[in-house]
Amino acid sequence: MPNLKDLKNRIASVKSTRKITKAMQMVAAAKLRRAQESAEEARPYAERFNAVMAGLAASVGGSDSAPKLLRGTGSDQVHLLVVLTAERGLCGGFNSSIAKLARTHAERLQAEGKTVKTLTVGKKGRDALKRDLGKFNVGHVDMTEVKRVGYADAQGIAKGILDRFDAGEFDVATIFFAEFVNVVTQVPTAQQVIPAKFEQDAEADDSTLYDYEPDEEAILADLLPKGVATAIFSALLENGASEQGARMSAMDNATRNAGEMIDKLTIEYNRSRQAVITNELIEIISGAEAL
């Protein structure tokens, strides 16, 4: 049984930990609101952009004149997995769930005989995939110095991916991130960005005809690189909200667990203290009787 001094020190240590987790919870709650607003405000733009691109892509079809970013290289042998995670931990299963989805996707591709390459954005994703997919890593983007994610950051990541595509380093690129639903729910998501895939809006009116100036191919050639940057920017914003929501939930759980541990340790401390007092009384009574 631990002595009273050890129990007292442990109670003080857990109380200090509880103060830290409570402070981190409050900081995450403050950051969550802004991150959530940014993610939700970007969704209508991304959805409308994809709807326009879907219409253009449908009109072009799979013709040879279609831009390479749309029609692809004609092969799907080499896949680039772009894994977007956080630079910091202490956010529950946020980082590990994204890494797990990427790892499962890579294993499936390898089972099909495909070649896998990885590009990580965020230190935690690189660390999580180092053991299983570290030998396939072709690059890492450090976001440590980024205080608030902007479109320029997404453009930089997109430019690196597009340069690799133009150099013929891969055929298909897929990004992995967590879509924010609420504080306790963040859904790991995989989205193919090269070749571009757009879902046709079911409510769209196909009877409307449009004349494009310049033609559809020229417009797509200009917009498709922006589409890659837009997809990455949306993923970064979703990740930002998901990270703060997961951290807020994890720190809340940690604070409550620390409180429960303090209660248990306090009971154990009181029992041990009472046992010491009882033993001292017994010794005093025994000594008095001996006299």
Structure tokens at 287: 């000594």
Catalytic residue among 57, 69, 91, 162: 91
The helix (run of H) or strand (run of E) holding residue 193 is strand 185-194
Residue 94: helix, strand or coil by DSSP? Answer: helix
Give, in degrees to the nearest 5, the angle at Cα 66 between 83 and 113.
45
Q: Are 117 and 81 in contact (CB under 8 A)?
A: yes
Whether 52 sits among the annotated catalytic residues: the reply is no
**What is the dihedral sign for C-alpha 82, 87, 90, 91?**
negative
Q: For residue 10, with 0-12 CB atoms within 10 Å meaning exposed, 13-18 middle and 19 or more buried, which class applies?
A: middle
Count of C-beta atoms within a 10 Å radius of residue 53: 21
The separation between CA 172 and the C-alpha centre of its own chain, rounded to angstroms, equals: 21
- Which active-site residues does the annotation give? 91
